[in-house]
Structures are given as C-alpha cells and as structure tokens.
Amino acid sequence: MDQRISKLDLKTSLSALSDLFLPRACVVCGEHLLPCERHICMECLADLPLTHFETLSRNPMADRLNAALPDELRYVYASALFFYSPYAGYDKITKALKYRRNFAAGRYFARMLGDKLASSPLYSDVDVVVPVPLHWMRWWSRGYNQASVIASEVARCLKTPCSSGMLRRVRRTASQTSLSASARINNVSSAFRVVGYKANPAIRNFGQDECRPAFRHILLVDDVFTTGATTAACIMALRAALGPDIRISLATLAVVER
C-alpha cells in the first residue's frame, strides 16, 4: 500500500471524501484546500504575517495602547497573532468570523493565538479572560460577539475561566471604522462598565462591605486592534471597579500596522 495513503488518519480521510461534494476553500486566497489543510492553505499559512509580540513586553502594539492610557495605568502588555493585511488578503480571517459567521475558522485562529500566549511567560499568570463586549442592540442584530468566540478558545489554551459577563457596554457607540484617533476616544468614553462583580465566583469577599478579586491578571480579548481607544476605555472601567492592583493585558487576532 502507498505509504501516503496508509498515513492518512480518519479525520483527513473523511475530509477528503467531503471535499468531493463540498470543496473547502482557503479563507485567505480562496483556493481549494487539501484534505490535510484546515481553513487556510499551506502557502498562505507559511506567509501568515505573525507579529511574535507575545515574546515582547514592549512592542509597537503595546506602545500604541499605553499611549491612550493615563500614566498611572501603564504599562499594559499587548499581543496579536498577525498583522492585519488587506492587500495580502489576511484581513479576510477576521472578517470571516465577524461578518460571515465562520465560527470554525475563528476558533482555529483563536487557538493559534492561545497557544502562543500559553507558551509566553508574560501571560503565564493570566487567571481570567474577558472579551470586549458588544452593546446589546448590536449583539441582538448580529446574534453573537466575535470577541467572545475568540476569548473562549484563548481561555481553553490558557486553562483559565472566560468571563463574558464581567464587562458590559452600557452605551451604544457609532462604528469606529471611519473615525479619527481622537474621535474614537471620545466615541467610547464611559461606554463600558464592570457589572455584577461582587456576585462573580472570581471575587472573594473579605467582610460585609469589602471585596477583593480572587484573580490578579485579566486578559482582555478582541478581534482587531487599531488605535487602542476601545481597549483603553475597557481598561479604565476595570481599574475603576477592581482597583489598581489588577494587572490587565490585551490579546487580539490581528493588529493594524501604522
């Protein structure tokens, strides 16, 4: 028997059979996938513009985020899996999850991000993962929060809880896509609030009127990092509610280069 055939596992064999009737396509280039490929072809995967920011305590993404924060809240670690590259088609990875409900591809790349964070000492002590929330009206119209899909997979890789209810967007904001950096900051100012944290199992009570968080390092998760305005607003809300001793970091699938 041909060794190439004998080495095929059941999952790959079933994938090959399925491709005969419903061919799968690379999320980046659109070419048909081989049975051994998942969501992205080997050529596009080899050229995936990885940031390697998970290995760097200071990097351009983290510097951009910290520039949007008050001095007393710095320095926040930040990492992204890859650079958001529309000209090479890699922007289609985040768009497939956000606009086309491709949850399988979103989870696949979220696991790639989570595995990299899990191997980094900068994120080894993360004890709760929190997705950047959508306003309920936007969630209702879309039916899901893409940040929660990513956060759930990252939390599994880090072997830590994912808390989708800790942070809430209490004010509906305009889309950030076409806004300037200063307009983005004004747009999301006071848009987030920590809710129900006293009843959260991650909170330990120390007396009738005093609470202290049982966690020490929060990892915020979103799909794409642009200017840092949204994340900065989330960080300020978390610090205001939980105090200055909480460490907060950020992870996203993609980061827009500047």
Percentage of the chain beyond pLDDT 90 is 55
Alpha-carbon Rg for the chain, nearest whole angstrom, is 20
Q: What is the mean pLDDT of residues 200-211?
A: 45
Q: Residue 23: what pLDDT? A: 82
Beta bridge partners of 83: 255
Q: Residue 72: what pLDDT? A: 81
**Residue 19 pLDDT class (50, 70, 90 cuts):** low
**Three-class SS state of 240:** helix
Q: What confidence tens digit (pLDDT) does each residue in 133-180 have?
A: 998 888 888 899 999 999 999 999 999 999 988 898 887 665 545 544
Is the model's pLDDT at 198 over the cut of 60? Answer: no
**Three-class SS state of 21:** helix
Q: Please tell me the total number of residues recorded for the chain in this structure.
A: 258
Is the model's pLDDT at 188 over the cut of 90? Answer: no
Give the residue from 192, 249, 240 showing the smallest Cα distance to 220.
249
pTM (2 decimals)?
A: 0.82
